[in-house]
């Protein structure tokens, strides 16, 4: 879908590279501009004391890209990055705005050389306000600052961190969408625009239903335990073989009778304590205990059959290990094969991009690049001769392989 689109990704860590990974899967040429030491996530497992040929965390966010390593602190390196942006369709960065402006790499500065450029800046907190130039990480900007962490923690318990890059990759999806919208406009008008995404704003949208309630009513109910739910029949219940099931009820009273039949308690269908939302809320603890006993009579397989027979909405509560083997995950295209960076033809499984385009090549376009693997090729595309490239390499302006001739 994005074949012919060139993206210059001047970014490290996960949120912005994750957006670049999505664009790469969808066909864009993504040139990853790295510092001489490489994206710090290249060292994700080395930091933990291990060393693998493939790095599934780095590879997930960088598959199919080209890598050029430039020391942009030098005048020559800075000029090279500006030259790359001059003919690009998209410039994607998560470098803090103040640093970009001081380096001559701000939106207005690059726009002057390339009016059609879609310039996307991904930050922790946005481009305006007192915290615009503060560093942002998802556990802080997305999870903690937005209120998502406190809204998620059950009442009376301590805060806990989100899982690795959860907020980053939610923001990656939003960022890729914003870039694509701006590309549509650029195609029609010939003019690019500034695209601003942030961990904070994405988090507020992700928790938007609760945030809308807070904004409208000025208050929000806390996250409660299973025996304190406002809607006790939308809940989690354990089967006799120790598997949890998530049960979801529709609005109104349509699901109470089917639930009673599923757990073999038809006698409760007309019980005034439970046959209305108000009654179930008034008797929430007893209602959940009755449902607990009902689910505990059956195995997960038996309960699944009974719930399906009543056309109820439910799902097993799976581990990621179970999700990896789930045939529906495979059918939905949720896992793809990524070529190993070893270059030996082997592949490994990795999460797919979030959207499928049936009939299109919407998967990984290659392995994650080695640091500076494409430095020579990218510089050659700018018209640099082999001798000129060697001179840049020897001067430390760029990192890559010297000529063999």
Q: CA–CA separation, 25 vs 22, rounded Å? A: 5
Q: Reply yes or no on whether the pLDDT at 45 is more than 90.
A: no
Nearest residue to 61 (alpha-carbon basis) of 103, 125, 11:
11
Residue 51 is predicted with a pLDDT of 60
Tell me the per-residue pLDDT of 95-104, one tens digit each, with 9 for 90 and over.
999 999 999 9
Spatial contact of 141 and 15, defined as CB atoms under 8 Å apart: no
Give the distance, in angstroms, between the CA of residue 189 and the centroid of all CA atoms in the same chain.
Answer: 30
C-alpha distance from residue 272 to each of 161, 251, 253, 265, 283 (Å): 42, 18, 13, 14, 10
Alpha helical stretches, state H, 190-339: 199-206, 208-217, 256-262, 277-282, 284-295, 300-309, 320-325, 327-331
pLDDT band at residue 395 using 50, 70 and 90 as cut-offs: very high
Give the distance, in angstroms, between the CA of residue 39 and the centroid of all CA atoms in the same chain.
Answer: 18
C-alpha distance from residue 249 to each of 161, 208, 311, 317 (Å): 29, 21, 11, 16
Q: The domain 6-209+333-399 belongs to what CATH superfamily? A: Crotonobetainyl-coa:carnitine coa-transferase; domain 1 (3.40.50.10540)
- By three-state DSSP, how is residue 96 classified? coil
Q: Reply yes or no on whether the pLDDT at 342 is more than 90.
A: no
The residues of the chain that CATH labels 3.30.1540.10 are: 235-321
| Residue 14 DSSP label | S
Q: Reply yes or no on whether the pLDDT at 285 is more than 70.
A: yes
Residue 258 is predicted with a pLDDT of 97
The residues of the chain that CATH labels 3.40.50.10540 are: 6-209+333-399
- By three-state DSSP, how is residue 223 classified? strand
Residue 47 is predicted with a pLDDT of 64
Tell me the per-residue pLDDT of 196-219, one tens digit each, with 9 for 90 and over.
999 999 999 999 999 999 999 999
End-to-end CA distance of the chain: 39
Residue in the block written with tokens 């701006």: 182
- By three-state DSSP, how is residue 25 classified? helix
**β-pairing, 29-34 with 6-10?**
parallel
Nearest residue to 58 (alpha-carbon basis) of 318, 348, 321:
348
Tell me the per-residue pLDDT of 109-167, one tens digit each, with 9 for 90 and over.
999 999 999 999 999 999 999 999 999 999 999 999 999 999 999 888 999 999 999 99
pLDDT band at residue 344 using 50, 70 and 90 as cut-offs: confident
Residue 270 is predicted with a pLDDT of 95
Residue 404 is predicted with a pLDDT of 52
The CATH architecture to which 235-321 belongs is 2-Layer Sandwich (3.30)
- Region 70-97 average pLDDT: 97
pLDDT band at residue 81 using 50, 70 and 90 as cut-offs: very high
Q: Reply yes or no on whether the pLDDT at 92 is more than 60.
A: yes
């Amino acid at each position: 879908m994005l074949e012919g689109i060139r993206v210059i990704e001047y970014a490290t860590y996960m949120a912005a590279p994750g957006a670049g990974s999505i664009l790469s899967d969808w066909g864009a040429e993504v040139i990853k501009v790295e510092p001489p030491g490489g994206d710090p996530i290249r060292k994700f497992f080395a930091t933990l004391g291990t060393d693998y040929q493939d790095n599934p965390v780095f590879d997930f966010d960088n598959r199919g890209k080209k890598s050029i390593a430039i020391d942009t602190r030098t005048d020559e390196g800075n000029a090279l990055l500006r030259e790359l942006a001059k003919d690009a369709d998209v410039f994607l960065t998560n470098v803090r705005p103040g640093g970009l402006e001081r380096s001559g790499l701000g939106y207005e500065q690059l726009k002057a050389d390339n009016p059609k450029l879609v310039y996307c800046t991904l930050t922790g907190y946005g481009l305006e306000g007192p915290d615009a130039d503060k560093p942002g990480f998802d556990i802080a900007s997305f999870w903690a600052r937005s209120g998502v962490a406190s809204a998620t923690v059950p009442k009376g318990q301590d805060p806990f961190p989100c899982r690795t890059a959860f907020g980053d990759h939610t923001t990656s999806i939003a960022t890729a969408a914003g870039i694509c919208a701006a590309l549509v406009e650029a195609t029609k008008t010939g003019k690019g625009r500034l695209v601003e995404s942030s961990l904070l704003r994405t988090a507020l949208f992700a928790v938007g239903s609760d945030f809308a309630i807070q904004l409208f009513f000025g208050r929000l109910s806390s996250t409660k335990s299973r025996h304190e739910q406002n809607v006790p029949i939308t809940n989690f219940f354990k089967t006799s073989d120790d598997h949890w099931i998530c049960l979801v009820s529709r609005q109104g009273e349509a699901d109470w009778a089917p639930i009673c039949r599923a757990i073999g308690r038809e006698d409760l269908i007309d019980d005034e304590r439970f046959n209305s939302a108000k009654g179930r809320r008034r008797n929430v603890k007893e209602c959940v205990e009755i449902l607990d006993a009902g689910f505990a009579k059956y195995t997960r397989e038996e309960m699944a059959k009974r719930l399906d027979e009543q056309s109820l909405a439910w799902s097993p509560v799976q581990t990621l290990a179970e999700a990896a083997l789930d045939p529906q995950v495979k059918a939905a295209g949720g896992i793809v094969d990524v070529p190993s960076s070893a270059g030996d033809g082997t592949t490994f499984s990795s999460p797919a991009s979030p959207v499928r385009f049936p009939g299109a090549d919407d998967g990984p376009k290659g392995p994650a690049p080695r640091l500076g693997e494409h430095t020579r090729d990218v510089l050659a595309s700018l018209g640099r001769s082999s001798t000129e490239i060697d001179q840049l390499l020897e001067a430390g302006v760029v990192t890559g392989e010297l000529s063999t001739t």
